[in-house]
Chain A
Amino acid sequence: MIPKLQLIDVRKSFGSRVVLDGVSIDVADREVVAFVGASGSGKSTLLRCVNLLEPIDDGQVVVDDVDISVPGLPVDPIRRRIGMVFQSFNLFPHMNVLKNLSLAPRKVLGVSRSEAENTARELLERLGLGDRADAYPDQLSGGQQQRVAIARSLAMSPEILLLDEITSALDPELVGEVLDVVRELKGGGMTMLIVTHEMAFAREIADRVCFLHQGQIAEMAPPDKFFSSPENERTRQFLQRVIESGRF
């Protein structure tokens, strides 16, 4: 079976600093892969490379057997198929929730206003935000903002969803409501790449966990194996530090 997404020897540097040093991975349709690792290990850059927010220096990003990383290829049609949710939400502060959700479907897909808003309302309902359609982002809690941001991505019906540390900017008591949404998405069969510091969550939701170290995949395994008997020395040290810091 053809993988939904393939990264083939992806390389990326910022100046002389090598951030991704030959990353290769196949992600199957409906699979959830969690990326963990120390800060600066290249996790976030990896996600940004998948939807071409960062152009890659070398290698290939392949979706449905089509290389989308060919230099010069129009990027907008690709990005609309790959949703991304950011650590800092990146909602549009001058638009209410409904406009945040309906802007891209209307302008990019050419959906009519009423249709886009209907879809948006359904999504908000599903994510428990049915009563916040008219609110502005700064009137919402962090957890609500992040759920709106997820809904905004979903409004484009993406085939792949990239979640970049989506709970890192949240107060601890707000993390749960956002993770619940991700659980629901997994139930619906969404293909997801998740960068996270929530080890318990990675263990629960991921089909595979990837440990990135200095721009390379140091270890990749199903969560049970990854967390209980990691093979790589670096992974063991990383998990040890996480446990000592009380985060797992």
Chain B
Amino acid sequence: MTDTVPGPSDRPGTVTSGRRQLTRRQEFERRQRRRSATIAAASTAIVVGALVIFVPLTPGWDKVRKSFFDGELFNDSFPRLLDAFVKNLQIFAWSTPFILLIGMLLAIFRNVRTPALFPLRLFAAAYTDIFRGVPVILTILLIGFGVPGLGLDRPYNSPYLWGSVALVLAYSAYVAEVFRAGIESVHESQRAGARSLGLSSSQTMRHVIVPQAVRRVIPPLMNDMVSLQKDVALVSLIGPIEILRQAGIDKSKFANFTPYVAAAVIFLVLTIPETRFVDWLTARERRRTSGTAVR
């Protein structure tokens, strides 16, 4: 043995390139990455280029551009739409806590095993079957026009109220299914562990099963919340002037579809970061659960 420390290039299978010294494997992977990036860039350029060149060549392009992408009108209606969008956010904000609460209760009711509470189980099953099976838009129309038709007095005939109630009914059914899947995904051995310590079945549910279930379903739950944010626009059908309704008013006033495009842009600014965040959460959860097996 000599006194000098052998460098990495002294090891067999090592390639010296530039200033950094990479192993053969790293060298190979770097070439592969460059190759993939080049191919991806080229194919994207071809597809986008074709769209930019060929779509304007279609016979109706001029008309479509004028009635969907009118820059001036876009700027004119954008602030009004943004104002109306606050309504959407409000409806979303006050509906969400009710949806989560009712969804969780329904999920727990469906897991109840006590015979005396069988009616609760039956109710929860029927509720989720009905509201999951009917399109949200129909629920909104039926509740939104049906209940105020009972002749209720002023604050209680508000379309905001009944539109929100309809959303809560529909979405609590979806969310209940998400929670139920979470509860059922907690392994039976957790229940055995808790019950063997003398915890009752409801204590086991509350302290052991539900906390684990909720953690697991946060990504799918947030997906449902993104959907809800979009579906709030359906409430426009029964009266409230929220963003979609406002866009419709502007469309009729100017005989131009650009306000719809502007509304779409407002939704996207919110929903794209949200869905990316959910993707990131899901990926992190997957890494976490598959990387910690200590057995």
Contact = CB atoms under 8 A, between A and B. Distances in A.
A190 to B, nearest CB: 16
Interface stretch (B1-9, B187-195, B254-262): B187-195
B52 interface: no
A104 B197 contact: yes
Contacts of A17: none
Contacts of B215: 94
A15 to B, nearest CB: 18
Contact of B294 (A92, A108, A140): A140
Interface string A65-89: 0000000000011011011101010
Nearest to B293: A138
A244 to B, nearest CB: 27
Given A92-B208, A107-B203, A108-B197, A145 B189 contact: no
A201 to B, nearest CB: 20
Contact of B193 (A90, A107, A141): A90
B196 A79 contact: yes
A149 B196 CA distance: 12
Interface range, A side: 20 to 34
A88 B295 CA distance: 9
Interface string B256-295: 0000000000000000000000000000000000001011
B65 interface: no
A93 interface: yes
Contacts of A153: 196-197
Contacts of B200: 76
Interface residues of B, number: 20
B239 interface: no
B79 interface: no
A53 B192 contact: yes
Interface string B76-104: 00000000000000000000000000000
Contacts of A141: 294
Contact of B189 (A79, A86, A104): A86
Interface string A140-171: 11100100010011001000000000000100
A94 to B, nearest CB: 5
Contacts of A88: 189, 295
B212 A76 contact: no
B211 interface: yes
Contacts of B194: 92, 104
A164 B167 CA distance: 50
Contacts of B197: 79-80, 83, 103-104, 108, 152-153, 156
Interface string B164-197: 0000000000000000000000000110111111
A34 B136 CA distance: 61
B207 interface: yes
A104 B208 contact: no
B149 interface: no
A91 B193 contact: yes
B295 A108 contact: no
Contacts of A145: 294
A111 to B, nearest CB: 12
A51 interface: yes
Contacts of A51: 196
A166 to B, nearest CB: 13
B218 interface: no
A108 B199 contact: yes
Nearest to A51: B196
A90 B189 contact: yes
Interface in B203-247: 203, 207-208, 211-212, 215
Contacts of A108: 197-199, 203
A53 B212 contact: no
B214 to A, nearest CB: 9
Contacts of A156: 197-198
B275 to A, nearest CB: 26
A87 to B, nearest CB: 9
Interface string A89-112: 011111000000001100110000
B196 A142 contact: no
B294 A104 contact: no
A169 B295 CA distance: 7
A138 B196 contact: no
17 contacts: A53-B192, A53-B195, A76-B198, A76-B199, A77-B198, A86-B189, A86-B196, A90-B189, A90-B193, A91-B193, A92-B190, A93-B212, A94-B215, A138-B294, A140-B294, A141-B294, A156-B198
Interface of A: 51, 53, 76-77, 79-80, 82-84, 86, 88, 90-94, 103-104, 107-108, 138, 140-142, 145, 149, 152-153, 156, 169
Given A104-B197, A108-B203, 15 more contacts: A53-B196, A76-B199, A79-B197, A83-B196, A90-B193, A92-B190, A93-B212, A94-B211, A107-B203, A108-B197, A108-B199, A138-B292, A140-B294, A153-B196, A153-B197
